[in-house]
Amino acid sequence: METALLRILAMSVALALPFSAAAQELRFNVIQESLELNPSDIEEVKAELQGGQWVVAIRLSDAAKAKFGDITARNVRKAMQIVVGNRIISAPIIVEPIRGGEVNISGNLSEIDAKAIAAQLK
């Protein structure tokens, strides 16, 4: 059985578009940092209803809590790509530092979406 490696990339993308219709400039700025978690770093993953919305609830091991807390503290209000293998499965925005090891992926997820994401992280 192949074990999945979860890679979390914190990134910020700024898009600069000119105001003049004649200009052709398009620029992307990306700032990136990554944290790799092994399957042993993830204690539990489940899709569940919270406040009437579907979320993916993840509980991290004690070893992963500090690392995850540090990367989320440095990247508040930035997108965090959640990557399994080489596939981006979600890119939520970090709302606040996540230091307790309880991670929720939320935001207009259907039951099917939440369960599919949870299955990919198990």
CATH number at residue 60: 3.30.1360
Residue 1 lies in a domain: no
Check residue 2 and give its pLDDT.
41
Residue 89 lies in a domain: yes
Which residue range forms the structural domain that includes residue 94? 6-121
**Tally of structural domains, the chain:** 1
How much is the pTM? 0.71
Binned at pLDDT 50, 70 and 90, residue 9 comes out as: low
Does residue 82 have a pLDDT over 50? Answer: yes
Check residue 16 and give its pLDDT.
44
103 or 28, which is more confident: 103
Check residue 24 and give its pLDDT.
52
The full 3-state SS of the chain, as one line of letters, equals CCCCCEEEEEEEEEEECCCCCCCCCCEEEEEEEEEEECHHHEEEEEEEEECCEEEEEEEECHHHHHHHHHHHHHCCCCEEEEEECCEEEECCECCCCCCCCEEEEEEEECHHHHHHHHHHHC
What number is the average pLDDT over the span 92-110?
Answer: 90
Residue 79 lies in a domain: yes
